[in-house]
Amino acid sequence: MNLLKKIFFIDFIKGLSLTFKYNVSRTITMRYPDEEKWLPYQRFRGLHTLNRDSQGRELCVACELCAKVCPTQCITVIPMEDVGTDLKSVPRGISDRIAKVYEINLVRCLFCGFCEDACPTTAIRMGRDYELACFTLDCAIADKKKLLTPRDIPAEFEGGFVVKAKFIRNDEGIKVKPDLSKKKRWW
């Protein structure tokens, strides 16, 4: 048997077959960030988002529980009364108490997600943005406007695969914009 194996290079062919199999199989190298991007699962804890309800009102009532529970004390909330609302116009928030200031210091944040757990109105959610690099420390403070901006990846979008993406580099920092329509199974 051993002799036959040796004559016909059986082990050699076995080994090479695996090599050739991979040679013709799908590639597993992700061309990140230039062409592709990994789109995380929904439970991923990336850059926070502040959400609105279906009528477009801010969900945050500035209760400061996120700031209280935060282990690194990176969240600053200053509430105010939304006095500008009357019954005719759509109020800014779901309650007359809204956040005047909502800031997260991303340098201190350890993305534990306690804020998400503490939030009584599901206003703050951990998003799926993970490209947080920038050129100055100023951009490390995420203010209310930034947090309220809708993200490229909607919360209800299922994740866990690679999509086509475009690498953008400008004065604000770098960003990899995904194209959600072109999903691609990785692996």
Partner 1 sequence: MGNEFVGDKPRRYITQNSELITIFIMATVKINGKEITVEDGTLILDAARQAGFEIPTFCYQARLSRLGSCRMCLVEIAGQKKLQPSCVTPVLHGMEIFTQNETVKTARASMLEFLLANHPLDCPTCDKGGECELQDLTFKYGPRQSPFAERKRRFHEKDEILSPVIVKNHNRCIHCERCVRICDEAVGAKALGGIGRGAMLKETSFLNKELDCDHCGNCIEVCPVGSFMSLPYRYKSRPWDLVETDTVCPFCATGCQLTIGTRNGSVLRVRSKIETGINKETLCARGRFGYDFIQSEKRLTKPMAKKNGRLTECSWEEAISQAKNKLSSAKKIAGIASARLTNEELYLFQKLMRNVFRTNNIDSGSRWTDKRTTDALINACNLSEGGTSIFEALKADLIFIIGSSISDENPITDYLIRTTAADKRKNLILAYPRRIKLDSSATISLKHTPGSEDIVISGILNALQNQAVKTDGSQVSESDIATIAQRMKTASTISIFLGTDSLRFANGKEMLLGIANLAKALKASGKNIKVMPLLDRCNQRGAWDMGVHPSFLPGYKKTNSDGMDCTGILEASSKGEMDAIYIIGEDIVSMYPDAKFAKEALSKAGFIIVQDMFLTETAKMADIVLPGASYAEKEGTWTNQEGRLQRLRRALQPIKAAREDLSILSSIGGFEYKSARDVFEEIRKEAPGYQDISFDSLNNTGVLVKGHGAEKQGSRGQGVKGSSETKINPSNPRTLEPSNPYLDDYPFLLITGNHLFHSGRLSQKADVLKRLLPESFVEISDKDAAALGIKEGDRVIVKGKHHEAVLRVRVKQGSLKGTAFIPENFEDVPVNCFFKKGEGIPRVKISKQ
Question: Does the protein bind partner 1 through residue 78 (CB under 8 A)?
Answer: yes
- Residue 116 binds to partner 1 (criterion: CB under 8 A): no
Q: Which stretch binds partner 1 (CB under 8 A): 24-32, 38-46, 95-103, 151-159?
A: 95-103
Residue placing its CB nearer to partner 1 in the complex, 100 or 182: 100
Q: Is the backbone of residue 62 left (phi > 0), alpha (psi -120 to 50) or beta?
A: left
Residue 74 binds partner 1 (CB under 8 A)? no
Residue 96 C-beta: closest distance to partner 1, Å? 7
First to last CA, the chain: 37
Contact between 64 and partner 1 by CB under 8 A: the answer reads yes
Nearest approach, Cβ of residue 98 and partner 1 (Å): 8
Q: In what order do the strands lie in the sheet with 97-105?
A: 75-81, 97-105, 141-142
Interaction between residue 137 and partner 1 (CB under 8 A)? no
Q: Residues of 124-141 as b/e, b for ≥16 C-beta within 10 angstroms?
A: bbbbbbebbeeeeeeebe
By CB under 8 A, name the binding residues for partner 1: 61-65, 68, 78-81, 95-97, 120-121
